[in-house]
Amino acid sequence: MRVLITGGNGYIGSHTCIELLAAGHAVTIVDNLSNSSPAVVERIARIAGRQPEFHQLDVRDAAGLERLFARQAFDALIHFAGVKAVAESVADPLKYYSNNVCGSALLFDAALRHGVTRLVFSSSATVYGEAARSPIGEDAPLAPANPYGRSKRMVEELLADLCRANPGLRAVALRYFNPVGAHPSGRVGEAPGGIPDNLMPYLCQVAVGRLPELTVFGNDYPTPDGTAIRDYIHVVDLAQGHLKAFDYLEREGGMHFINLGTGRGTSVLELLAAFERVNGVRIPHRMGARRPGDTTETYADAARAAQQLGWSTRLSLEDMCRDAWCWQKLNPAGYA
């Protein structure tokens, strides 16, 4: 298959490109490089032993998309491109509706007109919102608590409407839990600009000496050690879930919503301890206040992915910590 990957230079997209190339697919990347480096393309090629095609393009550039689709036929589309910082989405909602919602609408329009029938969309567990009870199944009510989450829900609804209107179209929205880790080669990984918002990249930057200490956001949660619980998933497992979603769309029509998580919860202090143990490093840290909007406990019901995709995670918390640290040590300043 020739697969179009939007946002393929980003964290999850780059790992998925590697898995697709390794499985023998041809890959075309579209990315506007707003949150990634052009260097990623060569890293992907070195690991996979095959070259992806790359186009620097914004998914909101309708004329650019038209030229791309007119030149080349695609069997499938994986749509990663978008913006993803919760706090920024509250301060600048239009950036989120423009990139995530308008961008998706323009992209799907071009894809449909050019005969693409299989779509995979990067959604997020954030669509469930703060009140959802874990383990969270796909039929839980959706109540996203911020513009980022609402933009993801809107695109899910847009895709479902497109599937209803176009019986030949098949789509999966994959709801990711907390992707962490890096490719075991240490050559691609997560490279956030500025100070990271998320726990694992923050922890890595403390370990490598770029940040002085980690603040644990709240140790008064009603959990065994008082810190909040999440479902961390290795990015390579997550990437492989996308290939399984393709296989599924070979067999099944219509629109599907599927969680990608391990189904297991890990607390902040458990992750910290695993990172120190596996990597033999000390992470200076202190207890701080809860972060507004954080949930106590969020982890997936991963049964639907197992039953429908035949997919479940293989890599452990230790693998996540080891690979995240390997990437950070080899690339202390990311791709810079």
For ligand NAD, the closer of residues 60 and 329 by Cβ is 60
Of the two residues 170 and 242, which places its CB atom closer to ligand NAD in the complex? 242
Scanning the structure block, which residue is given the tokens 């609402």? 150
Q: How many CB atoms lie within 10 A of CB 106?
A: 18
Amino acid at site 295: T
Interface with ligand NAD, residue 11, by CB under 6 A = yes
Q: List active site positions.
A: 148
Pick the closer one to ligand UD1 by CB: 249 or 320.
Answer: 320
We find the least distance from the C-beta atom of residue 11 to ligand NAD, in angstroms, to be 4
Total of chain residues touching ligand NAD, rule CB under 6 A: 27
Nearer to ligand UD1, 28 or 328 (CB): 328
Name the packing angle between helices 235-251 and 11-22 (round to 10°): 60
User: 12, 112, 159, 260: which one contacts ligand NAD (CB under 6 A)?
Assistant: 12
Q: Which of 89, 124, 134, 227 binds ligand NAD (CB under 6 A)?
A: 124
Q: Which stretch binds ligand NAD (CB under 6 A): 25-33, 109-117, 214-222, 253-261?
A: 25-33
Binding at 217: pick from ligand UD1, ligand NAD, none (beta carbon under 5-8 Å per type): ligand UD1
Q: Are 301 and 157 in contact (CB under 8 A)?
A: no
Paired tokens of 65? 């998309």
Q: Which residues sit opposite 260 in a β-bridge?
A: 176
Reduce the DSSP state of residue 315 to 3 states and report it. coil
Tell me which stretch binds ligand NAD (CB under 6 A): 28-36, 245-253, 270-278, 322-330: 28-36
Residues 55-84 that bind ligand NAD (CB under 6 A): 58-60, 80-84
By the criterion CB under 6 A, which residues form the site for ligand UD1? 86, 124-126, 178, 197-199, 202, 214-217, 228, 230, 268, 291, 293-294
Contact 227, 218 (CB under 8 A): yes
Per CB under 6 A, the list member of 99, 146, 267, 328 interacting with ligand NAD is 99
197 binds, among ligand UD1, ligand NAD, none (CB under 5 to 8 A by kind): ligand UD1
- CA dist 254 and 36 (Å) reads 32
Exposed, middle or buried: residue 255 (CB in 10 Å: 0-12, 13-18, 19+)?
Answer: buried
The reply on whether position 129 binds ligand NAD by CB under 6 A is no
According to the binding rule CB under 6 A, does residue 51 interact with ligand NAD?
Answer: no
What tokens appear for 267 in the block?
């607390």
CA angle 145, 150, 152 (to 5 degrees): 125
Q: Would you say 35 or 279 has its CB closer to ligand NAD? A: 35
- List 287's β-bridge partners, or say none: 216
CB-based contact 30:55 (threshold 8 Å) = yes
Residue 127 partner contact from ligand UD1, ligand NAD, none using kind-dependent CB cut-offs of 5 to 8 Å: none
DSSP string, 144-173: --SHHHHHHHHHHHHHHHHHHH-TT-EEEE
